[in-house]
Amino acid sequence: MDSPALLQFLGSLVAILALAWTARWLKLGPQPRLQDEAEARLAADEAVSGYSPVSIALDRDGGGALMRDAAGRLLLLRPHGTHFAGRILAAGASARIDGDALIIDSGERRYGEARLTVPDPQQWARTIDALGTR
């Protein structure tokens, strides 16, 4: 890179950092919340078109959900920025209990883990761990 190009690059870098800082300073990007099962159903259909849960475990604070459809597919919804990102859990997924929370590892490195406080976490953990034995 020649000098003007390098200067342009550094100027742009400063500008993008300033813009991102401004977004933070303005308190943009609130955490998403699932208020109830109806919202969880909607979010599930948005994550996987046509996904229709028969069982929903909604996080106590609305910070995600775990659900199962009639075909036995498990869908994990966890916050990503101001939205939710979902994954159908596969054989690489695992779960463990931490206090009253269920920690779900999607098995997908970049998607990572989710921490949900849900009713009957042991049962969900067993269901997730059983995916590897199918």
| Smallest separation, CB 14 to another protein (Å) | 11
DSSP code at position 67:
E
Instruction: In angstroms, give the least distance from the CB of 41 to another protein.
Output: 14
Tokens 């199962």 label which residue?
Answer: 68
Closer of 35 and 100 to another protein (Cβ): 35
If the CB atoms of residues 22 and 123 are measured against another protein, the closer one turns out to be: 22
CB of 26 to another protein, least distance (A): 5
Nearer to another protein (CB atom), residue 82 or residue 122: 82
Q: Tell which residue, 89, 90, 77, 82, has the closest CA to residue 43.
A: 77
Identity of the residue, 25 or 99, whose beta carbon is nearer to another protein in the bound complex? 25
Furthest C-alpha separation in the chain: 62
First to last CA, the chain: 54
- Residue 38: left (phi > 0), alpha (psi -120 to 50), or beta? alpha
Question: How many residues are present in the chain?
Answer: 134
Instruction: Report the 10 Å Cβ neighbour count for 82.
Output: 10
Applying CB under 8 A, the residues found at the interface with another protein are 1, 5, 8-9, 12-13, 15-17, 19-24, 26-30, 32, 46-47, 49-50, 78, 80-83, 85-87, 108, 110-112
Provide, rounded to whole angstroms, the least separation between the CB of residue 87 and another protein. Answer: 7
